[in-house]
Structure 1
């Protein structure tokens, strides 16, 4: 995870939003994907910015395992 303070440098963008922004990057190893969050919430930590997505990904992984469990039980049998 990375956290950087950035500013827009293109004239039109900089004129429309002259304040600094924050770029938080989170790499999900399971999916092999990088997610980028652009925010002006400087008071939050990087974990708080990316946290909802991380929780969602964890919930999705849990549901996939839970859905596969009954299939695995049939293969292994009831002990």
Structure 2
């Protein structure tokens, strides 16, 4: 199960990438979530561990979404 922040970050990543064709910056995630970078990094690490996203080099622009947020309720 995802934490509130993990779900929020996943939704933002999904919607932002669909709209703009790239991932948001940490500054944009901070603004949209109201969380600090350290908390966002923790949420991103949780999403990687739970296999919702993958990030090969730790660069936020290179994140791949493995499971779209709408589908998470079925998993």
Give the structure-2-normalised TM-score.
0.23
Looking at secondary structure, tell me which structure has more helix per residue: 2
Give the structure, 1 or 2, with the largest relative contact order (CA under 8 Å, sep 6 or more).
2
Give the structure-1-normalised TM-score.
0.22
Looking at secondary structure, tell me which structure has more strand per residue: 1
